[in-house]
């Protein structure tokens, strides 16, 4: 049962608020007791009751916020694995800023090339990759390092977990595979949680794919595109314990 933990694990700020509310209630009791003896105190008591009601309303809003399921996604790096047939591998960290448990039901990426809305592509997750096996296989996708298909997963309150999610063009095999070419690729990552009726935009980022990246990819090399808008030291340690990022690409986007 998580409710007792939430009730009794109070921060210093919460303790101060509780003490202030207690003093205010004591003051109200004194004013109400003195009101029959001094009619002039009636207005002060009414004002104090109004302030107390407003404070209780604010406290209720803050408490409701604490008990919400607030999923967040940290990511932005992109891997073009070897033998991936146009599929994209994204290291993602999912965190819950709230105290309530919840479920991430599904993900989707809207990919736009060079800002052209007519060339939008919808990508959906097709599986999770075991990064240690992926590195042992020299960054080639195989049946051993590709785990079971991506499905909804629970996310506990104030917890975070890392997933290496493989994306492919939605509605395959009817839709053609993604054909990479030089240009500016814009990514919009959407998530659907059980506490929302509609998907929410969780993160947006861009990568510039150069001709060298295309050539390396065609030569059966894994290409790493790094998003420098997220902190390398903290974010990538949180994404996985294993060393998934090649040492040569710590300073720049590289192929390996």
pTM check: above 0.85: no
Cα–Cα distance for residue pair 82/124, rounded to 1 Å: 19
Report the DSSP pairing between strands 116-128 and 200-209.
unpaired
Residues 6+ apart with CB under 8 A from 204: 186, 187, 188, 189
pLDDT tens profile 130-153: 888 888 888 888 877 777 789 999
In this predicted structure, what is the pLDDT of residue 230? 67
Please answer whether residues 73 and 203 qualify as being in contact, where contact means their C-beta atoms are separated by less than 8 angstroms. yes
Specify the higher pLDDT residue, 133 or 104.
104
Q: Please, which pLDDT band fits residue 99 given cuts at 50, 70 and 90? A: confident
The sign of the dihedral angle between the CA atoms of 249, 251, 183, 237 is: positive
Specify the higher pLDDT residue, 69 or 22.
69
Residue 155 in this model has a pLDDT that exceeds 50: yes
Cα–Cα distance for residue pair 51/44, rounded to 1 Å: 11
Residue 68 in this model has a pLDDT that exceeds 50: yes
pLDDT tens profile 226-247: 887 765 445 555 555 555 666 5
Residue 1 in this model has a pLDDT that exceeds 50: no
Residues 6+ apart with CB under 8 A from 10: 18
In the chain, the percentage of residues whose pLDDT exceeds 70 is 63
In this predicted structure, what is the pLDDT of residue 254? 44
Residue 210 in this model has a pLDDT that exceeds 90: yes
Please answer whether residues 232 and 245 qualify as being in contact, where contact means their C-beta atoms are separated by less than 8 angstroms. no
In this predicted structure, what is the pLDDT of residue 228? 76
Residue 10 in this model has a pLDDT that exceeds 50: no
Within 10 angstroms of residue 60's Cβ, the number of other Cβ atoms is 10
User: What DSSP string runs through 6-53?
Assistant: HHH---HHHHHHHHHHHHHHHHHHHHHHHTTT-TTHHHHHHHHHHHHH
Cα–Cα distance for residue pair 133/90, rounded to 1 Å: 16
Specify the higher pLDDT residue, 199 or 19.
199
pLDDT tens profile 161-209: 889 999 999 877 667 778 889 999 999 999 999 999 999 999 999 999 9
Please answer whether residues 124 and 107 qualify as being in contact, where contact means their C-beta atoms are separated by less than 8 angstroms. yes
In this predicted structure, what is the pLDDT of residue 237? 55
Residue 253 in this model has a pLDDT that exceeds 80: no
Residue 113 in this model has a pLDDT that exceeds 60: yes
Domain ranges of the chain: 3-66, 71-255
């Amino acid at each position: 049962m998580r409710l007792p933990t939430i009730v009794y694990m109070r921060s210093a700020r919460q303790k101060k608020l509780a003490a202030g509310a207690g003093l205010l209630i004591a003051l109200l009791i004194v004013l109400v007791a003195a009101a029959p003896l001094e009619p002039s105190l009636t207005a002060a008591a009414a004002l104090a009751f109004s302030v107390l009601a407003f404070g209780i309303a604010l406290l209720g809003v803050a408490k409701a916020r604490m008990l919400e399921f607030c999923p967040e996604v940290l990511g932005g790096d992109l891997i073009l694995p070897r033998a991936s047939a146009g599929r994209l591998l994204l290291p993602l960290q999912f965190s819950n800023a709230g105290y309530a448990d919840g479920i991430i039901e599904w993900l989707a990426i809207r990919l736009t090339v060079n800002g052209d809305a007519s060339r939008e592509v919808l990508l959906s997750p097709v599986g999770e990759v075991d990064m240690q096996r992926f590195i042992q296989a020299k960054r080639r996708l195989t049946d051993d390092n590709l785990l079971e298909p991506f499905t909804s997963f629970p996310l506990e309150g104030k917890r975070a977990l890392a997933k290496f999610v493989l994306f492919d063009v939605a509605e395959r095999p009817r839709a053609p595979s993604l054909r990479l070419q030089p240009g500016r690729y814009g990514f919009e990552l959407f998530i659907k949680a059980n506490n929302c009726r509609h998907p929410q935009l969780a993160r947006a980022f861009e990568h510039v794919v150069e001709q060298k990246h295309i050539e390396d990819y065609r030569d059966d090399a894994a290409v790493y595109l790094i998003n420098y808008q997220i902190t390398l030291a903290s974010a990538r340690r949180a994404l996985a314990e294993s060393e998934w990022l090649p040492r040569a690409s710590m300073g720049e986007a590289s192929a390996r």
